Amino acid sequence: MNYLSEMLKLPVIDSNGEELGVVNDLGIATGEVFPHVTSLAFQGPAKTPFMISWRKYVDHFDNTGVYLKTPQTDVRFSYLQPDEVLLARDIMNKQIVDTQGLKVVRVNDLKLSASGENQLRLLGAEVGARGLLRALHPALERVASRIAKLVGKPLPEHIIAWSYMDLLERSTQQIKLSVSHKTLDELHPADIADIIEQLDPRLRGEVFAQLDTAQAAEAISEFDDDELVAEVLEGMSDRDASSMLALMDPDDAVALIEELDYEKAEKLLRLMGVKEERAIRNLLGYEEDTAGRIMTSEFVALPATATVADAIEGLRKLDEDFESVYYVYTTDPTGALTGVLSLRTLIVADHDARLDSLAYRDVVWVAPDVDQEDVAEEMSKYNLAAMPVCDENRHILGIVTVDDAMEVMSEEHQEDLQIAGMSSGEGATSGESLHVLSWFAHRQYWLLVWAVASGIVAAVLQWMGGFGSYFIYPMCVMPAVLIASSRAVSFVRNFYLEYDESDDEDGPYLGFFVQTTLVGLISAVVIYLCGQLVLGAAYPDEVLSQISPLALPWQDTGLADASALSAWALSACFACAAAVTFVSCAASVIYLKILFWRDEHDRNTSGTALNVSALLIACVLYSAASTLAIFWLLA
């Protein structure tokens, strides 16, 4: 017996061969790396639950049942001990933290290991598809495994060892886990944040409550989801939330307070100490997305006349939770920035040396109203771990650290990817998602638009005069319109991402309109000429002579001939496609205007949404034009 699901429902038989009930759970003591099964829980007559000691009463077990050493009359029932948990009740189908893989998973089955006739240990949790299928029915798992092996995609076991498990759903009133392995509160704050973000909403508060205030402050500052931050803060008491924010770096605290409503934010600020409140309010006074908003007020600055010994002594006196120190800045008697020293310079210098003799004087600094993206670019350009933010008198207001700069660059990168219709999870090498459904949803949705629109055109033509069979002609030409409109939006996105405002003070719209109009004209001519080539290849000359511009459809030119009618319909569809393509390209300047407007108002724009919108507009225009043209020709 290798799995708990295989043990459940086995009969429990005493030494006289009498059946006492069926197995419904196994108990383990949590203090071991691979814990022994210590208790056997079974269901007796009338569904009465019983529990007995495994070591004391179980003689052996196999596929036919669990056999006891004694007759029923000698069995004494026991109770679950404080250090024990029940596998089916407390672990099966529960969420656990895989502290090795740093993720949240659900337990589908539990793998056991038999040592001897009556010794049983828990090895770990099965979190893969095989465990889920086995839990439904063992035969289902065997069939699926064989089919997968035949097609060359075997179903692997996904076992997480007990030593790497940390149970999340547990009732502290009933059980208390005491395990000797790495637990949730020992993980890095960034890993804790990742795990909490994966949890069901009902479990987040419970897990967060296991952390002390300092751990909670570090973990919440690592959250990527702004809504989740607000949810966690709203779920905490005001005093706990205020204490946690006070422990955070001021710039991180500001980022979290921005997610709260005004009344809640003010209440939390008033509950803080005066020093922490002042530091946070100072940063809140600067505009969003500027150096002043992302800087921290924690930095080290000393008079230029101080010695290296003074600087080292000042560093020693800093609090443990002080912002990471990268540089020591020097100031003149008025407090203005005069130079900067790296920690390496301080370590290797003589303790009696004055700072002004060692400091680098050509210091790069920025004003507090400089855009945060420009700050990040400057730090990358000069390879700085921190950049001072100064007022007009060069008085240091704070510093922007490298972690804040990296976060800004990451946010800008995400926005660029979103506008480009991609996501950060897409394949780095191929540029496409590895999952076929995700790839189709992001790249080939025009096929669905094409199919639906073709069906609508057919229905409308049938309703207008019984011409439903002619839908094939607009359907054949429609892909050219859809692909052209999609490419036009891609051109808009690329232009927007590469555009540098400093190079064009008059704005890009007129030049862009001229470019896209020219491209649209060329594309329209190409589509129309391709249409003529298709007509020349598909129809004989006598038919083509009937659809020349000089032979209009209402003239008596023998258009009752089906070939001539179909040729006229196909020619009209190509003409409509050329016209709609030209309009789509010429009007793409509107999409560029939308991107710039949303950027000015600090609103994210999905490139996929923009692409779908342009696709639908072009589809509607072409479908309406081609439908009306065919009806006009045939009615």
- Quick one: average pLDDT of 150-158? 76
Per-residue model confidence (pLDDT) at position 548: 52
pTM of the model: 0.47
Which residues face 26 on adjacent strands?
40
Which of 22-26, 150-154, 258-262, 345-349 is predicted least confidently?
A: 150-154
Cα–Cα distance list, 68 to 36, 58, 64, 256 (Å) = 17, 4, 13, 60
Residue 178 has pLDDT above 60, yes or no: no
Residue 429 has pLDDT above 60, yes or no: no
In which band, very low, low, confident or very high, does the pLDDT at 391 lie, cut at 50, 70 and 90?
very high
Q: Please, what is the end-to-end C-alpha distance for the chain in angstroms?
A: 77
Query: What is the amino acid identity at position 457?
Result: V
- Quick one: average pLDDT of 385-397? 93
> Does residue 219 or residue 523 have the better pLDDT?
523
Per-residue model confidence (pLDDT) at position 579: 92
Q: Are 480 and 466 in contact (CB under 8 A)?
A: no
Which residues face 399 on adjacent strands?
296, 388
Per-residue model confidence (pLDDT) at position 205: 65
**Spatial distance between the Cα atoms of 73 and 66, rounded to a whole number of angstroms:** 17
**Spatial distance between the Cα atoms of 562 and 548, rounded to a whole number of angstroms:** 16
Closest CA to 543 of 572, 515, 568, 576: 568
Helix 138-150 to helix 129-136 angle (10° resolution) is: 140
- Written as six digits, the tokens of 596 are 């710039």
Residue 215 has pLDDT above 70, yes or no: yes
- Quick one: average pLDDT of 424-443? 46
Per-residue model confidence (pLDDT) at position 558: 45
**Spatial distance between the Cα atoms of 368 and 251, rounded to a whole number of angstroms:** 13
- Written as six digits, the tokens of 503 are 């190079």
pLDDT 10s digits, 529-567: 888 888 888 777 766 666 554 344 444 444 446 677 788
Per-residue model confidence (pLDDT) at position 485: 87
CB atoms within 10 A of CB 128: 17
- Written as six digits, the tokens of 289 are 């997305």
Per-residue model confidence (pLDDT) at position 419: 56
In degrees and rounded to multiples of 5, residue 486 shows phi and psi of -65, -40
Q: Are 284 and 254 in contact (CB under 8 A)?
A: yes
pLDDT 10s digits, 479-507: 988 888 888 888 887 787 677 665 555 56
Quote the DSSP letter at residue 251. H
Q: Considering the chain, what is the average pLDDT of its residues? A: 79
pLDDT 10s digits, 86-106: 888 888 887 776 655 556 677
As a whole-number percent, the residues of the chain with pLDDT over 70 amount to 80
Domains and CATH numbers, the chain: 4-167 (2.30.30.240), 202-285 (1.25.60.10), 301-414 (3.10.580.10), 445-634 (no CATH)
Closest CA to 372 of 289, 295, 286: 289
Q: In 30-184, which residue ranges form alpha helices assigned H by DSSP? A: 54-57, 129-136, 138-150
Residue 120 has pLDDT above 70, yes or no: yes
Quote the DSSP letter at residue 249. -
